[in-house]
Structure 1
Amino acid sequence: MKLVAGVDIGNATTETSIAKFYNDKKIEFISSGIVKTTGMKGTRQNIHGIFSSVKQALDKVGLSIEDLNLIRINEAAPVIGDVAMETITETIITESTMIGHNPSTPGGLGLGVGTTININNLHEISNKDPLIVIIPSTVDFMEASEKINREFNNGRNIVGAIVQRDDGVLINNRIFKKIPIVDEVTLSEKVPLGMRAAVEVAPVGGVVEVLSNPFGIATAFELTPEETKMIVPIARALIGNRSAVVIKTPKGDVQERIIPAGKINVTGEKRRKSIDVDEGAEEIMKTLEFCSPIKDISGEPGTNAGGMLERVRQVMANLTGQNPGAIKIQDILAVDTFVPQKVKGGLANEFSMENAVGIATMVKADKLQMQAIANELEKQLGVLVEVGGVEADMAIRGALTTPGTNVPLAIIDMGAGSTDASFMSKEKRNKSIHLAGAGNMVTLMINTELGLDDIDLAEDIKKYPLAKVESLFHVRHEDGTVQFFENPLDPKVFGKIVILKEGNMVPIPGDNTLERIKTVRRFAKEKIFVTNALRALTTVSATGNIRDIEYVVLVGGSALDFEIPQLITDALSKYGVVAGRANIRGTEGPRNAVASGLILSYRKEDDKNE
C-alpha cells in the first residue's frame, strides 16, 4: 500500500488530496486539506503553504508526514497578482487652474461669481463689485450671518459664500438675501484671496448645471479655448453634484506633464503586432487573438503600459532568481473600466472618473522553477516529491469524478489569478490553456471603480450579496425582497448599504448606491469570467467552435461564488452547452480538482511502470 498526496498550489489557496493505493490497484481517497498560499504562486515561498496543507490533511486521519510515500505538486503557472492587475490610462499631472468642491449640506440657491475675500476684511472694500466671502472656522454661524447682513445694509454686493464649518444651512436661514453657500471646505485657508470664484447651489433634487459644464466655467471666468481644455477634469468631477465652488488660482500656476498610456507589443509564433492602450480593451484582445499563440508581450518604454509590464518581469525575476530578459509574458486580459483620478488642487479630495484599461498578466510557466521547489520540499520533508502534469489537465481528471460527468468534457478552472480550461475528447486526448485574470482581477476592478481603497472590503463585495438597511427593523435585499427583524438592528448600519457576510452586516462607506455597487460587481465578473470562459473554450475546442463542446464543468474557488456560475451558464446556454458547478469526488464541491487529478494521473503512470 502506498500513501500519496496531490498538492495544488493556487494563487490564493493551496489544496491537498490524500489517497491510499492498494496492491490490487484500488485507490481510496481518505482526506483533503486547504490553506492560504504562502508567497507568489510558482515560487519557493510556496513551500510553507504546501507543508501546512499536507499536514492539515494528514492530521484529519491521524497520519504524519513520515507515512507518505510520495507528494505530487502541480506545474504552477505564476500569475503576478497586485503588480500586474493595474489600470492603465493617460496620466495628466496638473497643478489645476481650478478648484472644485461638493459638500452634502449646502445653503441657499443659484450661481454667484465674484472676487474672494475673508469675511473679517469686508470693511476694507469700498466698491460694489461682486464678492464671494470666505468664512473660516473661527467665525461661527451667528457672527457670520450678522456680518453678512450688516454688509448687505452697507451696500456690499455679496453674491456667495465659502464656509469652513458645516454651517451653510444655518447661515442661509439668518441672512436677508439668499445667496449660494458652500460649506465643509476644510482647506478654506488655502483658498486664494482676491481671485475670481464661482459658487453654485442647485435646488433639492437638482444638480449644478453651470459649473459641471466646461463652457459654463469658461463663461464665468472668461477663459481662452486653451484654458477651457484644462478645466475639463474639474467640470467632470462636478457632474451630478448639488453644489460646487470653482476658484481661479494665480496665473502661472499651471504645470502639466502627460505620461501616455502607451502601446502593448504582442509577439506570436507567426505574427507580431502593436496596439495602443487608448484603443481600448476590445482592440487589445483582438490583437492577442490575431497573434495567437503568444510567445511574449512587452510594453512601450516610457509609458504606463511599458512600466507595468517591465515591473512584472522584474518582480518575477527577483522571486525566481532568473534574468528579467528570460521572463516571458504568456497572456494578458484587458478590461475597459473607470478609475477615480484625484483632481489636483482640490479643496476636499475631489475625484474625476476617467476611462482606463485594467490589465491582468500571466508569466509563462517554468517547469525548472517548479522542479527546484520540489527538490527543496523533498530535502526538508524527507519524502519523495515530483512535479505532476499541467494544471488544466489535472483539473479535468479531477472534474471527471463529479457524478454524472463523462468524456467528451471541458472544464473551466476559475481561481484567484488565472482562468484555465481543458478539453478531453472521447479518445482521451487533452488540450489545455492558461489565461490571465480571475477572482483577484474582479476584486481590483470593484476596488478601483467604487473608489474604496480597501481591497478586503472589495473582496467581501465580490463574494457576498448586498442589502439596504431601511429601518432598525427591516432591510431591502438587492433583489428587492424585504426582510423584517424582531429585534432592532445596530444603529450604526441604519440607512447604510451593507454586505451580508456570514450572518453579519458590514456597512459600506461612501456615497455609492446599492444599484451602482451591484452593477459594478456584476460587470466586473462578466467582463473577466465570462470573457475568459469564452476565450478558453474557443481555444481548447477541437474545431475552435464552442458549440462542439457538450458539457462544461466549473471548478476552482471562484466557482463557489454566488453568481459567477450562473453568469457563465447563461453565456454558454447560447451555444447549447450544458454547464454547471462541479462536485469533485461527490464530496468536495468545485474545490480540490487539481489535487485529486494529480492522484488519479499518478495511478495511470504507476500502471505504465508496471
Structure 2
Amino acid sequence: MEIIVGVDIGNATTEVAIGKIEAEQEFNFIAEGEHQTTGLKGTEENIKGIMNALQQAVQEADLKLEDLDLIRLNEATPVIGDVAMETITETIITESTMIGHNPSTPGGVGLGVGKTVMITELDSCSAGEEVIVVIPAEIDFAIAAENINEGLARGIEVNGAIVQKDDAVLIANRIDKQMPIVDEVKFIDKVPLDRKAAVEVASSGGTIQELTNPYGIATVFDLDADETKHIVPVARSLIGNHSAVVIRTPQGDIEEKRIPAGKIIAFGESGKEKIAVDQGAEEIMKSIEKVQPLKDVKGESGTNVSGMLERVRSKMKQVTGQNLSDIKIKDILAVDTFVPQEVKGGLAGEHSLENAVGLAAMVETSQLPMQQIADALVQELPEVEIEIAGVEANMAISGALTTPGTDKPIVILDMGGGSTDAAVLTQEGNIHTAHLSGAGNMVSMIIETELGLEDFDLAERIKKTPLAKVESMFNIRHEDGTVHFYDEPLAPQLFSKVVSLDEGELVPIPTDHSMKRIRQVRRDAKKDVFVRNAVRALKRTIPTGNIRDIGFVVMVGGSALDFEIPELISNELSNYGVVAGRGNIRGMMGPRNAVATGLVLSYLNNPRWN
C-alpha cells in the first residue's frame, strides 16, 4: 500500500488530496484538506499552510503524517499586484484650499461668494461688502444668527457661513436672508481669513453644481486658463456632494510636485515594445501581446511604473534570495481604474479620483524557491519522500477530467488568487498551456483602491458576497431589486446601511459609497480581470488561435466558486459559441482541488505504480 499526497500551493489557498494505492493496484482518494496559504506563494513561508492542510487531511483519513509515503508539490509561480498612477502621484492644488466633507445637515441653499470674516469681526466690515462669516464652536447659534442679522441690517452682504458645530439649520432658521451654511467643520481654525471663498449648498435631494464645474470655480475666482487646469481636481473631488466650500489662498502656499507615470518597456522573443502608461490598459495589453512570448518587463527610469515594477522585483528578492538581475517578469495584466488621491491644500481630508492603471506582474518561476520549500518540508517530515511534480495547468487538466460529463478535447480555466491558467488537451493528447498574471487578488486590489477602503479584507468580502440595503427595521432590498422581509426587527445599527450577505448574515460595509456604486466597481473589476484573462488565455492555448474552434470550457480553482465570475465568463464565451461552466472535481469537490487531485493522478504513470 502507498499513500500519495498532492499539494497545490495557491496564492490564496493551499489544497491537499490524499490517495491510497492498494497492493492489488486498486486506487482510491481517501481525504482532502484546505488551508489559507501562508506567506507569498512559492516561498518557504508556505510551509505552515501546507502543514495545516496536511494535518486536516490525515485526520479525516484517520492517518498520521508519518504514514504518508510521497508528497508531490506543484510548481508555484508568485504573482504580485500593484497600481501605477496614470498622470500624477498626488493631487496638488496650488491656488486654493477646500472643505468638501458633506455634513449631513447643512443649512440654507444656493451659492454664496465673499471674503472670509470671523463672526466677531463682522462689525468692522463696510456696507456693500460681500462676506462669508466663519463661526467657531464657542459662538452660540443664537448669537451668531443675531450678529448676521445685525450685519445684514447695516447693508453688509453676508452671503454664506462656515460653522464649526452642527448648527447650520438652527442658524438658517433664525436669519433674515436665505444663504448657504456649511457646518461640522472640525478644524475651523485652519480656515484662512480675509480670502475669497465660495460656499454652495444644494436643494434637498440634490447635489452641488457650480463648485463641481471647473469653469464655475474659474468664474467665481476669476481664474485664467492655466489656473483653471489646477482647479480641476477640486471640482472632481466635490462631485456628488450636497455642500462644499472652496477658498482661494495666496500663490505659493502649496508647492506643486509631479511624478510622471512613465512608460512600460516589454521585451519579447519577437522584439521590444515601449508604451506609455497614460495610454491606458487597452494599449498596454496590445503592446504586450505584440511581443509574445514575453521575456521581461521594465519601467522607464524615475517614473511611477518603474517604481512599481522595482517593488515587485525587490519583494521577490527578499522572499527568494535571488539576484535582482535573475528576476524576470513573464506576464503583465493591466486594468484601468481610479484611485482616490488626497488633495493637498484641503482642510477636511478631501480626495480626488485620479485615473490609474492597475498592474499584476507574474515573476518567472525558479526551481530554486520550490526546492527550498521541498527541503523545508523534508525537515518537517523526514520520513516522507518529497518531490516537485508538475506545472499547475497540466495538473489541473488531470483533475478536471474527473468532472462527470467531460472528455478530450477539453479546455481548463484554472482561476485562483494570483494567476489564471489555461490548458487545452487535444483529442490526440497534446497539451497547450498559458500561465497569466491576474486573478482574485487583483480584483480585491482594484475594489480596495477604487473605493478608497484601505482594508484588503473588506475588499475581499465585497468581492465574494452579494449586497443589500437595509431599508427599514423589517426589510432589505437586494442588489437585484428584490425585497426580503423579516419577522423580527433587524439590529438598529444596520438601519440604512449597505450590507454584505455573508451566508445569510447581514454584515455592514463601513463606507459611504452607495450599493449601486459598490456593485458596479465589483462587477467591472471582475470583468476587467477574469473575462479579459479568460479570452487571452484561450487565444494563446487553442492551436488555431480561434476561440470558436473549441466547444467546452471547464472552470476550476477558488475563483470559480465566486457567485458571479463564472456567469460573466460564460456570457462572454457564449458570443463565440462556447459552452462554459464550473467543474466538479471527482464528482464531489466542485471546482476545488483540481491541481491537488491531478498531482495524485499523474503519479499513476510512475513506473513504481505500473
User: What TM-score, normalized by structure 2, do the two folds share?
Assistant: 0.97
The residue that corresponds to 1:465 in the other structure is 466
The residue that corresponds to 1:436 in the other structure is 437
The residue that corresponds to 1:261 in the other structure is 261
Deviates more, 1:303-312 or 1:117-126: 117-126
SS at match of 1:256: coil
Q: CA deviation at 1:251?
A: 2.6
Deviates more, 1:133-142 or 1:287-296: 133-142
Q: CA deviation at 1:95?
A: 5.1
Q: CA deviation at 1:154?
A: 2.7
Deviates more, 1:562-571 or 1:19-28: 19-28
Equivalent position amino acid for 1:177 in 2: K
SS at match of 1:468: strand
Equivalent position amino acid for 2:352 in 1: S
- 1:306-361: CA deviations, max 9, x gaps? 00001111110111111011000011110111111111121222221111111111
Distance 2:166 2:493 in 1: 22
- 1:440-493: CA deviations, max 9, x gaps? 111111112222222111111111111111111111111111111111011111
1:593-604 matched pairs, under 5 angstroms: 593-604=594-605
Distance 2:577 2:288 in 1: 26
Distance 1:283 1:151 in 2: 60
SS at match of 2:427: coil
SS at match of 1:107: coil
- 1:214-260: CA deviations, max 9, x gaps? 22212211222221211111111122322221101123214111111
1:364-383 matched pairs, under 5 angstroms: 364-382=364-382, 383=384
Q: CA deviation at 1:156?
A: 2.2
Distance 1:220 1:480 in 2: 42
SS at match of 2:570: helix
SS at match of 2:18: strand
The residue that corresponds to 1:418 in the other structure is 419
Q: CA deviation at 1:124?
A: 2.5
Distance 2:115 2:372 in 1: 70
Distance 1:390 1:368 in 2: 15
1:383-532 matched pairs, under 5 angstroms: 383-532=384-533
Q: CA deviation at 1:86?
A: 2.1
Distance 1:214 1:204 in 2: 23
Distance 2:247 2:299 in 1: 39
- 1:9-65: CA deviations, max 9, x gaps? 001111000001123332110000001111110011111211221121001121111
Equivalent position amino acid for 2:241 in 1: N
Contact 1:186 1:347 in 2 (8 A): no
The residue that corresponds to 1:90 in the other structure is 87
Contact 1:496 1:507 in 2 (8 A): yes
The residue that corresponds to 1:110 in the other structure is 110
- 1:88-142: CA deviations, max 9, x gaps? 3222452542223233322112222111111111123345311110001111211
Deviates more, 1:411-420 or 1:118-127: 118-127
Distance 2:339 2:396 in 1: 35
SS at match of 2:407: coil
Q: Does 1:128 align with 2:128?
A: yes
Q: CA deviation at 1:87?
A: 4.3
The residue that corresponds to 1:340 in the other structure is 340
Q: Does 1:317 align with 2:293?
A: no
Equivalent position amino acid for 2:538 in 1: L
Q: Does 1:35 align with 2:39?
A: no
Equivalent position amino acid for 1:316 in 2: M
Contact 1:161 1:181 in 2 (8 A): yes
1:22-421 matched pairs, under 5 angstroms: 22-80=22-80, 84-91=81-88, 92=90, 94=92, 96-100=94-98, 101=100, 102-382=102-382, 383-421=384-422
Q: CA deviation at 1:583?
A: 0.8
SS at match of 1:440: helix
Distance 1:580 1:209 in 2: 47
Distance 1:47 1:367 in 2: 16
Deviates more, 1:565-574 or 1:124-133: 124-133
Distance 1:103 1:376 in 2: 56
Distance 1:376 1:467 in 2: 46
Deviates more, 1:328-337 or 1:247-256: 247-256
Contact 1:569 1:580 in 2 (8 A): yes
SS at match of 2:344: coil
Contact 1:87 1:339 in 2 (8 A): no
Distance 2:219 2:270 in 1: 56
Distance 2:554 2:24 in 1: 31
Distance 1:531 1:244 in 2: 39
Distance 1:120 1:329 in 2: 63
Distance 1:57 1:186 in 2: 56
Q: CA deviation at 1:387?
A: 0.3
User: What TM-score, normalized by structure 1, do the two folds share?
Assistant: 0.97
SS at match of 1:235: helix
> Residue 380 and residue 207 in structure 1: after superposition, are their counterparts in 2 closer, same or farther (change >3 A)?
closer
Distance 1:289 1:249 in 2: 48
Contact 1:114 1:196 in 2 (8 A): yes
Distance 1:478 1:486 in 2: 21
SS at match of 2:487: coil
- 1:488-508: CA deviations, max 9, x gaps? 011111111111112211112
Distance 1:219 1:465 in 2: 44
Equivalent position amino acid for 2:376 in 1: E
Distance 1:218 1:480 in 2: 41
Q: CA deviation at 1:160?
A: 1.0
Deviates more, 1:90-99 or 1:45-54: 90-99
RMSD (CA atoms): 1.4
Distance 2:215 2:587 in 1: 65
Distance 1:566 1:299 in 2: 36
Distance 1:441 1:593 in 2: 22
Distance 1:219 1:475 in 2: 44
Contact 1:261 1:305 in 2 (8 A): yes
SS at match of 2:335: strand
SS at match of 2:97: coil
Distance 1:333 1:261 in 2: 17
Deviates more, 1:65-74 or 1:101-110: 101-110
Contact 2:84 2:261 in 1 (8 A): no
Distance 1:206 1:590 in 2: 47
Contact 1:6 1:598 in 2 (8 A): yes
